Amino acid sequence: MQIHLELKPFISLETEALVTYVFDDNDGPQGRAAELDQATAGLLARLNKSGELTGKSLETTLIHSPAGLQAARLLLIGAGKRELFNAATLRKIAGVALRYLKSRSVHNFTLVVREGAGTEVNAQAIAEGFLTADFETDKYKTDRKKDKFIDAASIAGYSDAEKTAAEKGIARGRVIGEAQNFARDLVNEPSNKLTPRVLAEKAETMAKEAGLKIEVLDENKIADLKMGALLSVAQGSAEPPRMIVITYTPANPKPGAPVIGLVGKAVTFDTGGISIKPADGMEKMKYDMAGGATMIAIMRALAVLKPNVKVICVVPATENMPGGKAQKPGDIQTAMSGKTIEVLNTDAEGRLILADGVHYAKQLGATHLVDAATLTGAIVVALANVNVGVFGSDQAWTDKLLASAKEAGEKMWQLPMDDEYREFIKGSFADIQNIGSGKGGGSITGAWFIREFAGDTPWIHLDIAGTAWNDDAKPWLAKGPTGVALRTLVQLITSL
Ligand code: BES
Ligand code: ZN
Ligand code: ZN
């Protein structure tokens, strides 16, 4: 899909659909909406008066052959409250426009930004909105509708003076939107098509194309390095594990600068192991590698955006299966760090593989860590599918992430990490146990388990179990993988 900047006056644009947005304050057309109203002999005011156009958030009103315009259609999208309007609103509006028009077999359209909205961040958000909305999960459907596609989406409403900002925003938005879709494509793959080995191969292909350094550790190397926690999860499966390590090094690294370690959980299928999960809904556990996919995709974006900071991405990849060699409740494992772990529940496997991932990232030189994982069902209880759960050991580092999430338009919420919760995972027969002994706080004890391996290194954990998968389609996003956390982490790293 092409994304153009259109500098010609929007009234005279020949496009299959002209799209803009209106607010819910009902105080009559203003600014660019007034221009549009004038060109169409009072159409907006009439629609407003009849109650058909309210400006309610994401409401859509389609007019065919609007008199006074060269466009074949006019699509008006509700922008909600004027005072709450920001780049995140625009990202959604762009997505709604694309999916609404694509489903009606329109192939090109132009989105006009309103007066005062001609900024770089807005152009970036629109490009991201277009690209992420264009992503479909019908890859394996043989009857997918081949006539439903968008060729070109244009952005108008920018002045000549705003052209450079718009073009920069579009370029950055394209890199980020495409990276997010790359992550979603990996998450969408079923576990028979995406084993740990296949994930590693796909990461290798990406890294070669992007010019990134990559090393994939196979099961022998993993054993040589004594990654006992990762191996314990992998031992129940016929598929061997992989440890994927991708490195981005800036051209002129500053001596003493921070080195970011991104660690992502990649369980390509989580049956629960011997502590097996119920059948109902188990098919969804193909997305238990979303954290790893996100981290790999971030590296692809960084290779283009070239921030001046070194980033090491570490992705432990395995299946969690109940094979004859599977670990059993009560088994004691020794992690790469030397800590011993009593595995009381084999379904709490994400924290096990992250233990070795985090330790290895530190050994490779990471000074600041972020992990992302579909770690706990408990985070869905706490935050539903709305917010990513954020946990941190260093408030200054965590605050940077939370600020980046705001800028990237991703909802994230910090949860507490009091020492009391750490007591929950004190082991009876080993140093620590992989589930909490207390009642409740399941997401926090999971986070504490990982933190034991981060030690004094500033560390953030993102629990994306509730947000990495959309159970229902949204007007701006298909059902299925969301690629959550990618935009926030790209923002964090490029702002350092
Ligand atoms: N992959 C799951 C977490 C999960 C649950 C992700 C629901 C997405 C949706 C994880 O490995 C797991 O099974 N966690 C257990 C931990 C428990 C045994 C302490 C859980 O949340 O039930
Ligand atoms: Zn599990
Ligand atoms: Zn899992």
pLDDT confidence of 390, banded at 50, 70, 90? very high
Query: Distance between CA atoms of 431 and 453, rounded to whole angstroms?
Result: 12
Average pLDDT of span 115-140:
97
Note the pLDDT of residue 105: 96
Note the pLDDT of residue 439: 85
Nearest to 233 by CA among 359, 341, 372: 341
Note the pLDDT of residue 29: 87
Note the pLDDT of residue 470: 97
CB 234 within 8 A of CB 319: yes
Which structure tokens are listed for 227? Answer: 């990654």
Query: Distance between CA atoms of 105 and 149, rounded to whole angstroms?
Result: 7
Q: Enumerate the active-site residues.
A: 277, 351
Report which ligand 1 atom has the smallest distance to the Cα of 287. 8
Report which ligand 1 atom has the smallest distance to the Cα of 446. 19
| Candidate of 375, 385, 443 to mutate for ligand 1, largest count of ligand atoms within 8 Å of Cβ | 375
Q: Encode pLDDT of 317-372 as tens digits.
A: 999 999 999 999 999 999 999 999 999 999 999 999 999 999 999 999 999 999 99
Note the pLDDT of residue 118: 98
Note the pLDDT of residue 26: 76
**Diameter over CA atoms, the chain:** 80
pLDDT at 145 over 80: no
Q: What is the percentage of the chain residues whose pLDDT exceeds 90?
A: 97
- Residue 211 DSSP one-character state: T
pTM as predicted: 0.98
- Residue 104 DSSP one-character state: T
Nearest to 385 by CA among 247, 250, 482: 482
Q: Encode pLDDT of 243-271 as tens digits.
A: 999 999 999 988 899 999 999 999 999 99
Note the pLDDT of residue 438: 78
| Residue list, ligand 1 pocket, CB within 6 Å | 270, 288, 345, 347-350, 374-378, 435, 442, 465
| Sign of the CA dihedral running 279, 284, 287, 288 | negative
| Sign of the CA dihedral running 200, 206, 208, 210 | negative
Note the pLDDT of residue 345: 98
Ligand 2 centroid vs 390 CA: distance in angstroms?
19
Point out the least confidently predicted range of 19-33, 124-138, 402-416: 19-33
Query: Distance between CA atoms of 290 and 17, rounded to whole angstroms?
Result: 35
pLDDT at 154 over 90: yes
What are the angstrom distances between the C-alpha of 120 and each of 117, 165, 373, 496? 9, 5, 31, 19
| Candidate of 376, 450, 470 to mutate for ligand 1, largest count of ligand atoms within 8 Å of Cβ | 376
| Phi then psi dihedrals of residue 60, to 5 deg | -115, 135
CA-proximal residue: ligand 1, atom 16 (nearest): 348
**For tokens 């959980």, what's the residue?**
265
Note the pLDDT of residue 144: 83
Task: Return mean pLDDT, the chain.
Answer: 97
Which ligand places an atom closest to the C-alpha of 375?
1
Ligand 2 centroid vs 358 CA: distance in angstroms?
18
Ligand 2 centroid vs 399 CA: distance in angstroms?
29
Which ligand places an atom closest to the C-alpha of 447?
1
What are the angstrom distances between the C-alpha of 469 and each of 184, 312, 386, 455, 481? 9, 25, 11, 30, 4
Ligand 2 centroid vs 45 CA: distance in angstroms?
55
**For tokens 């338009």, what's the residue?**
409
CB 258 within 8 A of CB 367: yes
Ligand 2 centroid vs 354 CA: distance in angstroms?
13
Average pLDDT of span 473-486:
98
Nearest 5 degrees, angle CA 132-CA 137-CA 142? 140
What are the angstrom distances between the C-alpha of 247 and each of 20, 23, 213, 299, 391? 42, 45, 5, 8, 25
Which ligand places an atom closest to the C-alpha of 345?
1
Q: Is 9 strand, coil or helix?
A: coil
Report which ligand 1 atom has the smallest distance to the Cα of 374. 6
Query: Distance between CA atoms of 399 and 28, rounded to whole angstroms?
Result: 41
Which structure tokens are listed for 446? Answer: 């999971």
- Residue environment code for 256-268, b if the CB has 16+ CB neighbours within 10 A, otherwise e: eeebbbbbbbbbb
